[in-house]
Structure 1
Amino acid sequence: MLRETAEAWRRWMRAFSYSGPQEPMVRRAAITLKLCDDWINGSLVASPTSSLPAAFGGVRNWDYRYAWIRDAAFTVFALRRVGFGGEADAFLGWVLDAFENTVQPQIIYTLGGDPVPREVEDAGLEGYRRSAPVRWGNGAADQRQHDIYGEVLDCADQWLRAGGDVQPALWAGLVELARTAESAWCRPDQAIWEVRSEGRVFTYSAGMCQVALDRAAGIGERLGLPGPVGTWRAAAEKVRRLILERSWDEDAQTLSEHIDGGGSLDASLLALPLRKVVPADHPRMAATTAAIAERLSAGDGLLYRYLQDASPDGLSGDEGAFLLCSFWLVDISCCKATSNGPRSCTTRSARPHRRVGTARLIHGGPATVLARVVIRARVVIRRTRAPACPSRPPPPGTTSRREDPRPGRALRAMW
């Protein structure tokens, strides 16, 4: 069994195509993400942990042993960038099947695609380093987070651009997501950070609805598929324009975390240019990036997600920096084509992989969050140095397709 297991890993790693800065770290990051892949179903666990605290002795301790649509999409993006495309095939099949099995799309599912159990506190356990409570299940399961429509459609768009074959069942599912995004962008939700306060219309969520509409229109146009492509294209442009106009706060000189302005900051705004909602060099986006780097700085290249006094999230307790946000800032620096800045910031931000407590990582667990952002950051830095570090093609005859032959129903014809 040991010999067969080792051979299976070597066979999978033959598709590894990255060649650039810190290749051993990228290789290890890919392996870490693959360990979170449920190859039977096609889902990906956010983290194989529950109730690790955001801060020792704190109460922000959550159960992450489930598949978050957003986190899984981030993972397949990262794996695809270093040569592994099969996971995206399986994820799309799994997520559309999961959506089909519930009345409306959920943000979290079990690995088998079922609803997540209700959140309960286990009084019989003291928690890691006495950081109670220990929780099983997750109370965010019933939240509305409108960014998931964009996550799935962006993943599908990248998969189709890489040669995927769109079948009627797949397109029907994507059309339904685009239609939902068309009306959801202006409705309150709890957004990417899963706040437990009253819902608001978050700028990031509106932006990801714009992504859903833009990608659906692009897929339909490119492949000549049926659907209200013109309506989606017009709606995408409308949402993009309203984000720049309505969330802009003239006094704070920044886009705001909420679509109705106010000047409060949220580091997820850094993702808008990365998802092609707003150009990185747009004056209002550039001002927002500068404001986030200054006002949300935790020092040493790290960023807070938001400031709790300015953006109450309905929870008690403290938290530290959120590593993903620092790498979003790295990405934007790369978009501006300055090579030393991104490399320096990436080096500082990656230090916590040896001392995880430095960043007090939350939501997704240290290993999975860091693995995803390490791959993303190294790939974009390599891009700024091209053609010095070209991607290494897989050896002839190798493939990144998953070895398990059981896809979701929506993609069965593709296999």
Structure 2
Amino acid sequence: MSTSTSTVSATSTAPKKGAGRRTLSLPVVLLIVAGALALVSLVRLISGAEDITSVGQVAGALELAVPIGLAGLGGLWAERAGVVNIGLEGMMILGTWFGAWAGFQWGPWVGVLFGILGGCLGGLLHAVITVTFGVNHIVSGVAINILAAGFTRYLSNFAFADLDGGSSKQSPRIDPITDITVPGLADWMQDLQQRHWFLISDIAGVVGGLVTHLSLLTVVALLLIPGTWWILWRTAFGLRLRSCGENPVAAESLGVNVYKYKYIAVTVSGGLAGLAGAFLAIVATGIYQEGQTGGRGYIGLAAMIFGNWMPGGMALGAGLFGFTDSLKLRGGAENVHAMLLLLAILLVLVVGWQLYKKKYTAALISGAVSALLFVWYALTDQVPSQFVDAAPYVTTLLVLALSAQRLRMPKADGMPYRKGQGT
């Protein structure tokens, strides 16, 4: 027994190859953001799509990124404890319905609370099914997605159908949450952005979008990102929780109640997804509508994977997907057409990196795709409307494909665990 325990402990504490490259520090994240902004600014000047980094575009991208980011945070909590949460979409659906139902009756902040509770119920159900009964995590998550969609549709027939402005598929209008605007700074940034200078106007557009009609719930959501990092990486609680996702047998041998931490993580995961759903219903649209999550739970999961199961990287992924999604709302085909040029330039950079790494086949494929995109951009003035609608999902696939080789998930993520299995 002592020999096996020491072996497990030694294995879990042994340094892993490439472990030092997995963390994105704040300076690195800021450098990535600055480089991306400079590249977008260059594309804006070449293409003439001046609205790409406008105040309205950035504000819209932030509003679209928040629910994706909250869902991604939810996935991160669950998977760091070793539970795959494909059910984020269903938990978001529960958050939208319960948030709208309570928000209409008792005000938006009560709606936010009920949205979180609705998501927590979905997370708790997922924990019971996977942790206690050992059902496959993917099967459980898909079942929760289906169950949540049918359950909320059934409830809507009783809760909203007979109300003024409501129906079996939507709720009446919900009172909005107070938003914040910094008058002098917002006006100055708006004026500076409209001058269309290289990089300076783009920075002004980003800052203006962050200080214009910023919902208080958006501020809360943004604070949850560093809050999650601090809890999971700077506290004893977070260390124990992450150990359950890396090596639950070793964690158990050190006295950690693995079941308890998995339950806590998955329930918090559901609560964050429920908060994402409440944000959609109360802040983003001001109304509950059937199907309004639109797959954002899955995109949140993709953002988490893109971020390598880290809050900072996940936030970058959510911002990327939110920005891509917002392009079709302002400027539509023109903005997405400009993104063809941006993607072609990015692939050129990828080719250079792959050549440096001596991955010649991958470099050849990336170069060929880049050339096709350059030709497509040069020979057309806009892209088909179907491609505009599909742009966020295409971006999701491309980002995951390009980042797949650097990913490192928690070692015990998705693996069944039974107490005492290491004895």
TM range (shorter): under 0.3
**Structure label with greater radius of gyration:** 2
| TM-score, normalised by the number of residues in structure 2 | 0.24
Decide which structure has greater strand share: 1
Q: Which has the higher contact order (CA 8 A, sep 6+)?
A: 2
Decide which structure has greater helix share: 2
